[in-house]
Amino acid sequence: MICIAIANQKGGVGKTTTAINVGTALAATGMRVLLLDLDPQGNASTGLGIGRAARDQHSTYDLLVGSASLDEVAIPTKVPRLDIVPATQDLSGAEIELIEFEARTHRLDAALARHAPARWDVVLIDCPPSLGLLTINAMVAAHALLVPLQCEFFALEGLSQLLSTIDRIRSRFNPGLSILGVALTMYDRRNRLTDQVADDVRAVLGKVVFDTVIPRNVRLSEAPSHGMPALIYDYRCAGSEAYIALAREVIERLPKLRKAA
């Protein structure tokens, strides 16, 4: 089992969209995928059409505080081979509540270690837009990070903070944590500034940046309100095609992780 955290402390950069659509694409290739919704806003859960009743019974909050096991909280989505642990608003309290817990940085890691390896090939964690205890739990549990970066003028701003958090997690808890890749999102070919940003990011970060660039595409933003991945809502739109290409690159990079895992 390979665990990938989709992280960037900036909100609205495409973390959830990436988690849903890369998860769907990986599942389509035959992998058994679990998406763990670690954002109190629960956008990944909504985007996959998980209703309130199901959420109240099964959530990442229960998993983190230890009131339920992964086997109890993981539920199927409409996408074959894609399961989810949904999120509820309770999670926003978990940042504070967990401080009291023993091994508070390792709650998710321990919960995954017990049940995930037998059931899933890949676990994707959709992180909240912060570098608090929830994201730290994700980074401790993960083998690698996928970092979506929005093609905007301030794209690189905040990245140094993310990188120094990764370094701290590596030295204290998880020496093997690697960066699977940086995905440029919301690329707008009509806007020359985004080209410039994409070039700058590649110049600074080099090969860690995926070749695939996710375009700004209205179908990607419509799909969640229908409770389905863009890849199913409209698999031929430019956004879906880009996510299929990104998933292909993710798959190409997995063997290196497996060796390290």
Ligand X SMILES: Nc1ncnc2c1ncn2[C@@H]1O[C@H](COP(=O)(O)OP(=O)(O)O)[C@@H](O)[C@H]1O
Contact letters for Mg ion, residues 214-233 (x by CB under 5 A): --------------------
Residue 227 contacts which entry, ligand X, Mg ion, none (Cβ below 5-8 A, type-dependent): none
Tell me if 9 sits within 8 A of 128, measured CB to CB. Answer: no
CA distance 73 to 137: 17
Pairing relationship of beta strands 33-37 and 82-85 according to DSSP bridges = parallel
Closer residue to ligand X, CB minimum distance, 42 or 239: 239
Token duo for residue 31? 């992998």
| Residue list 14-33, contact with ligand X (CB under 6 A) | 14-17
Q: Does 40 interact with ligand X (rule: CB under 6 A)?
A: no
CB of 8 to ligand X, least distance (A): 6
Q: What is the DSSP letter of 223?
A: G
Q: Does 60 interact with Mg ion (rule: CB under 5 A)?
A: no
| Residue list 221-260, contact with ligand X (CB under 6 A) | 221, 224, 239
CA distance 210 to 216: 16
What amino acid is encoded at 18 in this protein?
T
Q: For 184, left (φ over 0), alpha (ψ -120 to 50), or beta? A: beta
Closer residue to ligand X, CB minimum distance, 94 or 230: 230
Closer residue to ligand X, CB minimum distance, 64 or 229: 229
Any bridge partners for residue 14, and if so which? none
Binding site for Mg ion (CB under 5 A): 15-16, 39, 43
Binding site for ligand X (CB under 6 A): 11-17, 43, 129, 185-186, 214, 216-217, 220-221, 224, 239
